[in-house]
Amino acid sequence: MTDLRGKTALVTGSVQGIGLAVAKSLAAAGARVALHGLANQEDIDAALAEVREAGAPEARFFDADLRDIPAVEAMMREAEAWGPIDVLVNNAGIQKTASLEELDTATWDAIIAVNLSAAFHTMRLSLPAMAQRGYGRVVNIASVHGLVASVDKAPYVAAKFGLVGMSKVAALEYATAGSRTSGGVTVNCIGPGWTETTLIEPQVQARAAKYGGDRDKGVADLLAEKQPSQRTSLPEEIGALALWLCSPVAHNLTGTTIPIDGGWTAQ
C-alpha cells in the first residue's frame, strides 16, 4: 500500500530501538534513509547494514547533538542536499526520572532540548519544502506521556505534551498543502506506551530488584500500574504504524496522536 521509492526519510535517534525499527519499515517500502544518533562507529555500521538489508537503496548516517541548534541546522542542510527530505520522523529522546524537588536545571534543559526543541527545528527546516513538493510526512514519536502524566517525569511529560501540541499547530498550518493526488502534507504523533527499548530498562531493573532481579516479574509489576493489556509493544509495531501514516490513503489523517499503549490512555 505504501511505495516510498524515490523518497528520502530522516529518522532521528535511529541507531537502535523504535527509531531503527521505523527506519527499517521505511526502508522496506523503498525509501532512502538518513539515520541519526549519538553512537560509536560499530553501532552506526550495524544500523546502516540493517537498514540496507531491509531494502533501502541508500542509507547514510548523520551525527548531530540535538541540544546544539547550529548542529541541528547543519544536519538538516546536509540531509536536504542528500535528500530532499520527504519523510521526517522525530524519534530521538532522553529521559530521567526524578521528583520536581530533586531535578536539576541541566537535566530539565537537556530533556526539553532533545525531546521538544529539536523537533521544532527539524520541522521548521523541512516542512516548507515538503509543501512546495505537495507531499510530506512528519511523524513525531511522542508517548502516552504526551496525553497523560506520571510522577517523577516532569520534563519528559512537559516535552511530550509540547510535542503533541506543536504537531497540531503544524498540521493546521500545512493542511492545505498538496492534494489527494500528490499525497498532501501531514503531521501526526504516535504515542507508545511501555515498549521494549533501552529507555525503559532502568525502570524495569528497579522493579526487578523487588523480585530478586527477575526481569519478567519486574516488567509485569511495571505494566500492572498503567497498561491494561499487560503486554509491552515491540519497536516493529511502532514502525508499522509510522509507515502506514506515510501512505497516500493517510492524506487526510493529520494533527492526531495515536496511542499504542494497551489501553493505558483509555482509562
- Residues 25 and 118 both lie in one domain: yes
> How high is the pLDDT of residue 199?
73
Shared-domain flag, residues 174 and 42: yes
Told to judge if 174 belongs to the known catalytic residues of this protein, a careful annotator would answer no
Host domain of residue 222: 197-232
The reply to whether 163 and 225 lie within a common domain is: no
Q: Please give the pLDDT value at position 203.
A: 82
Q: What's the predicted TM-score (pTM) here?
A: 0.94
In a domain, 265, yes or no: no
* Domain match, 90 and 39 both: yes
pLDDT tens for residues 144-162?
Answer: 999 999 999 999 999 999 9
Q: What is the pLDDT of residue 246?
A: 97
Domain identity same for 31 and 162: yes
Give the pLDDT confidence of 118-139 residue by residue, as tens digits: 999 999 999 999 999 999 999 9
Does residue 225 lie in a domain region?
yes
214: three-class secondary structure by DSSP = coil
Looking at the structure, tell me whether residues 254 and 215 fall in a common domain: no
254 in a domain, yes or no?
Answer: yes
pLDDT in tens, 180-222: 999 999 999 999 999 988 878 888 899 999 999 999 888 888 8
**Do 131 and 207 lie in a common domain?**
no
Would you say residue 266 lies in a domain? no
The catalytic residue among 135, 156, 174, 211 is 156
Residue 72 included in any domain:
yes
Work out how many domains the chain is built from and give that number: 2
The secondary structure of 41-95 as a DSSP string is HHHHHHHHHHHHHHT-S-EEEE---TT-HHHHHHHHHHHHHH---SEEEE-----
Q: Is the pLDDT of residue 1 over 80?
A: no
Residues 147, 211, single domain; the answer is no
